[in-house]
């Protein structure tokens, strides 16, 4: 490692929310880290295009550059911490750093989801570490737990509430009985949602994290664009209210599981979760990951999934790991190159239970028509709710159906939508029972 005997020299790229947190906490906890690692950890180079952050954080201007190449080209820098974000310059920086023989720490889930296979292969070739604890679930040490504490387990299933913005919005809708637009506006006002909320609420952020978790748990990277992803825009307060009556809460859930060697399910979508399950009680901006291993059984990881402090904690944990290996460095542990079940199941193959909400004509025989369609596709109905409402042209009808393949269910629902008794586009959500 390029470093003096007891000093680990860091190059920091990015001084935004997380980068600023890393700088500040490394200064305040310098003695703690030195005591626990036996190494002085120092940031000796900073690359940023935000001069105001330099002044705010008190970073000496003598170590600052607006060009990330300065970090790569400095022979004293042993570790580059990439916190710029994006998938263009960040990719170029990480690739150049590894090529130059430097270790890398990143929190960039979008980049790893897109380029992880290539970058981990490069890290292994160069015998350098590429660490990424902060890329999933902020301060929750889920990646180290999967790679180290649970290394002897085959992962049977992994379920994650891994986007704090979506969880805050859905929790608010549930607790206050408000609609999506009002909950989103509240999340933006409190700084929990970006001005452009699409990355979060359309499920892409969770999908990036799910791809990383799948690579760790099952040893292969989901090809870009093939991870089934749905966001929360279509979830209404009406659906949340009916779900609660049925004994469920609605959460944006990442599902990663395999019950045999035929393939792995990796998907992200709004999901009905039984209220008795601990994930149903995860509220606000908190994250949680439920892991089922064949040896350990069920485990739960819970905590803050984002923010300067939680994410900086994970980044500093990776830096400390490198410091602990200063005199006996580990080989790079590749991710996504040891596939146990290398086949990604197509969405059409997956078996699920479903919640369905229909707006139907208020007349006799309607339920019989709908049940007949489901029966023709060999899909059974487990429960029905038709609330008493004032007489009118249409009424809501809520149906829970038994297990069905995604394709059979989609075909059945399309036929039901064409019935003359169905007045609006059907609404459907998946149900997860964790059995």
Is residue 335 a part of any domain in this protein?
Answer: no
Report the pLDDT value the prediction gives residue 338, as an integer from 0 to 100: 63
Residue 209 among the catalytic residues? yes
- Kindly report the CATH number assigned to the domain that includes residue 148: 3.30.360.10
Name the pLDDT band for 404 (thresholds 50, 70, 90): very high
Choose, from 102, 109, 209, 251, the residue flagged as catalytic: 209
Report the pLDDT value the prediction gives residue 2, as an integer from 0 to 100: 44
> 67-99: per-residue pLDDT in tens?
999 999 999 999 999 999 999 999 999 999 999
pLDDT at 390 over 70: no
> 130-156: per-residue pLDDT in tens?
999 999 998 899 999 999 999 999 999
Is residue 341 a part of any domain in this protein?
Answer: no
Instruction: Based on the fold, state whether residues 153 and 198 are members of the same structural domain.
Output: yes
Instruction: Based on the fold, state whether residues 355 and 298 are members of the same structural domain.
Output: no
CA angle 54, 25, 187 (to 5 degrees): 80
Q: How many CA atoms lie within 13 A of 106 on its CB side?
A: 29
Q: What is the domain count for the chain? A: 3
Name the pLDDT band for 212 (thresholds 50, 70, 90): very high
Distance between CA atoms of 179 and 159, rounded to whole angstroms?
Answer: 26
Range of the domain at 157: 142-304
Instruction: Based on the fold, state whether residues 159 and 103 are members of the same structural domain.
Output: no
pLDDT at 339 over 70: no
Instruction: Based on the fold, state whether residues 243 and 356 are members of the same structural domain.
Output: no
Instruction: Based on the fold, state whether residues 77 and 100 are members of the same structural domain.
Output: yes
- Which phi-psi region, left, alpha or beta, contains residue 232 (left: φ > 0; alpha: ψ -120 to 50)? alpha
State phi, psi for 243 to the nearest 5 degrees. Answer: -60, -40
Instruction: Based on the fold, state whether residues 314 and 259 are members of the same structural domain.
Output: no
Report the percentage of the chain scoring pLDDT > 90. Answer: 83
- Kindly report the CATH number assigned to the domain that includes residue 57: 3.40.50.720
Report the pLDDT value the prediction gives residue 346, as an integer from 0 to 100: 86
Instruction: Based on the fold, state whether residues 292 and 146 are members of the same structural domain.
Output: yes
Letter string b/e over residues 155-184, b meaning 16 or more CB atoms within 10 A of that residue's CB: bebbbbbbbbbbbbbbbbbbeeebebeebb
pLDDT at 360 over 50: yes
Distance between CA atoms of 291 and 266, rounded to whole angstroms?
Answer: 14
Is residue 26 a part of any domain in this protein?
Answer: yes
Q: Model-level pTM?
A: 0.92
């Amino acid at each position: 490692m390029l470093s003096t005997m007891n000093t680990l020299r860091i190059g920091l790229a990015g001084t935004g929310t997380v980068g600023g947190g890393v700088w500040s906490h490394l200064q305040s906890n310098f003695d703690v880290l030195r005591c626990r690692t036996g190494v002085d950890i120092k940031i000796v180079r900073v690359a940023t295009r935000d001069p105001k952050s330099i002044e705010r954080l008190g970073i000496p201007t003598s170590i600052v550059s607006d060009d990330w190449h300065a970090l790569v080209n400095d022979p004293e820098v042993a570790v580059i911490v990439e916190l710029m974000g994006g998938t263009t310059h960040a990719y170029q920086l990480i690739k150049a750093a590894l090529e130059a023989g430097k270790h890398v720490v990143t929190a960039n889930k979008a980049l790893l989801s897109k380029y992880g296979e290539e970058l981990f292969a490069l890290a292994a070739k160069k015998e350098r570490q590429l660490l990424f604890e902060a890329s999933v679930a902020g301060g929750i040490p889920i990646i180290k737990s999967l790679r180290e504490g649970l290394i002897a387990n085959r992962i049977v299933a992994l379920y994650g509430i891994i986007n704090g913005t979506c969880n805050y919005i859905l929790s608010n809708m549930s607790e206050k009985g408000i609609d999506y637009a009002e909950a989103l506006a509240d999340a933006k006002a409190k700084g929990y949602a970006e001005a452009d909320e699409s990355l979060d609420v359309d499920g892409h952020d969770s999908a990036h994290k799910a791809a990383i978790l799948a690579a760790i748990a099952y040893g292969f990277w989901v090809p870009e664009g093939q991870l089934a992803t749905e966001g929360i825009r279509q979830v209404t307060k009406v659906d949340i209210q009916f779900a609660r009556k049925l004994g469920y809460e609605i959460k944006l859930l990442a599902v990663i599981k395999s019950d045999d060697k035929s393939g792995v399910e990796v998907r992200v979508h709004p999901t009905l979760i039984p209220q008795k399950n601990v994930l149903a009680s995860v509220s606000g901006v908190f994250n949680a990951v439920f892991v089922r291993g064949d040896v350990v059984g069920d485990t739960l990881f819970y905590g803050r999934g984002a923010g300067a402090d939680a994410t900086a904690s994970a980044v500093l944990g990776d830096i400390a790991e490198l410091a602990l290996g200063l005199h006996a460095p580990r080989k790079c542990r590749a991710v996504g190159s040891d596939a146990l079940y290398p086949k990604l199941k197509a969405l059409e193959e997956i078996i699920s239970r479903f919640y369905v909400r229909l707006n139907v004509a208020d007349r006799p025989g309607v339920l019989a028509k709908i049940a007949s369609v489901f029966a023709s596709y060999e899909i059974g109905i487990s429960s029905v709710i038709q609330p008493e409402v004032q007489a009118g042209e249409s009424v809501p009808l809520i149906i829970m159906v038994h297990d069905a393949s995604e394709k059979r269910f989609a075909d059945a629902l399309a036929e039901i939508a064409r019935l003359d008794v169905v007045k609006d586009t059907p609404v459907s959500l998946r149900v997860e029972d964790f059995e």
